[in-house]
């Protein structure tokens, strides 16, 4: 089963994906996480991607499509995967359709004001990658693994607004694209993480 999580920066895709993957035994494929890992390790891809990611721009389609093509052909994706942050452009959506059969697209709908509040309070664990928000965890240390909590480089206010603009221009049109294909399910992403996950669970259970 291939599921796609669609939503603006800060909509809660990563938070929801973590819950979904542990409950539904799906492999979490986050293109943002993959790019950040490549950037940390200074791979050829990471070096090419850094200037785009840091500026809040999209990494060129050809690089992303090749990265995802390789990743979803790996054995751990055989049972299914949850794509978080991909596709983000019409070209990526077309490429995905040619590589794999998409079963469902969950669109996480959240107002822009809430996106900015969520991103500006986000903290990410440099050890295990867990995501927190200062409204419910204000410490400097990850309660799960004890590593330091950091602010993501692309979470600076000016970059956040740029990322939302880039989303509106390039990614929002995919809502219509997948609706026309009959694959889109819209989820109200404005509630708590528990409420959002309960709504998604309902959709998933109806499907089975
Ligand atoms: P990526 O890492 O994918 O970033 P994004 O799409 O901008 O999404 P975020 O990670 O910012 O937010 P999220 O929706 O996962 O929210 P989260 O759960 O963390 O991409 C980064 C960059 O990589 C891009 O800008 C681009 O440069 C590049 N890139 C990646 N994919 C690409 C592609 N396909 N093509 C080209 N370039 C690509 O939650 C946010 C905060 O809110 C957290 O603090 C969380 O605790 C909190 N929160 C979550 N859910 C809730 C809730 N329900 N209620 C209250 N708070 C909540």
Give the chain's domains with CATH numbers.
2-110+163-207 (3.40.50.300)
Q: Mean pLDDT, to the nearest integer, of 187-206?
A: 96
pLDDT for residue 135 is more than 90: yes
Overall average pLDDT of the 87-104 stretch: 97
pTM confidence score: 0.96
pLDDT at position 192 over 70: yes
Mean residue pLDDT of the chain comes to 95
Pure H helices in 121-172? 157-166
Nearest-CA neighbor of 171 among 111, 125, 107?
A: 107
Across residues 125-142, what is the average pLDDT? 93
For residue 15, the ligand 1 atom closest to its alpha carbon is 18
d(CA 24, CA 34): 21
189 CA distance to ligand 1 centroid (A)?
13
Mean pLDDT, rounded, for 79-91: 96
Q: Which of 8, 17, 31 to mutate to test the pocket of ligand 1 (most atoms within 8 A of CB)?
A: 31
Q: What is the predicted pLDDT for the residue at 79?
A: 86
Q: List the residue whose alpha carbon is closest to atom 42 of ligand 1.
A: 118
**35 close to 136: Cβ distance less than 8 angstroms:** no
* Beta bridge partner(s), residue 61: none
Is residue 71 flagged as an active site residue? no
Report strand pairing: 81-84 vs 184-188. Answer: unpaired
Take residue 143 and report the two structure tokens written for it. 């309660």
pLDDT at 208: 61
In ligand 1, the atom with minimum distance to the C-alpha of 131 is: 46
Residue 196's SS3 state is helix
**Range scoring the smallest mean pLDDT among 62-66, 69-73, 78-82:** 78-82
207 an active-site residue? no
pLDDT reading at 65 higher than 70: yes
Of all residues in the chain, what percent carry a pLDDT higher than 70? 100
pLDDT score, position 30: 97
Residue with tokens 């109806």: 206
Catalytic residue list contains 13? yes
79 compared with 163, residue with greater pLDDT: 163
**What's the chain's length in residues?**
208
């Amino acid at each position: 089963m291939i599921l796609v999580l669609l939503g603006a920066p800060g909509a809660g895709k990563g938070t929801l994906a973590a819950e979904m993957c542990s409950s539904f035994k799906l492999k979490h494929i986050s293109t943002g996480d993959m790019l950040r890992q490549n950037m940390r390790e200074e791979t050829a891809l990471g070096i090419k991607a850094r200037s785009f990611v840091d500026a809040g721009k999209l990494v060129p389609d050809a690089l992303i499509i090749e990265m995802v093509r390789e990743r979803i052909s790996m054995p751990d994706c055989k049972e299914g995967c949850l794509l978080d942050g991909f596709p983000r452009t019409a070209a990526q959506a077309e490429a995905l359709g040619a590589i794999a059969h998409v079963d469902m697209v969950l669109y996480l709908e959240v107002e822009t004001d809430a996106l900015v509040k969520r991103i500006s309070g986000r903290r990410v664990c440099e050890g295990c990658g867990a995501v927190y928000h200062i409204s419910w965890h204000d410490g400097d240390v990850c309660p799960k693994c004890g590593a330091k909590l950091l602010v993501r480089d692309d979470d600076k206010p000016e970059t956040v607004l740029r990322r939302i603009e880039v989303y509106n221009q390039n990614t929002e049109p995919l809502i219509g694209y997948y609706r026309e294909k009959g694959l889109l399910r819209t989820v109200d992403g404005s509630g708590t993480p528990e409420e959002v996950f309960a709504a998604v669970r309902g959709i998933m259970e109806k499907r089975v």
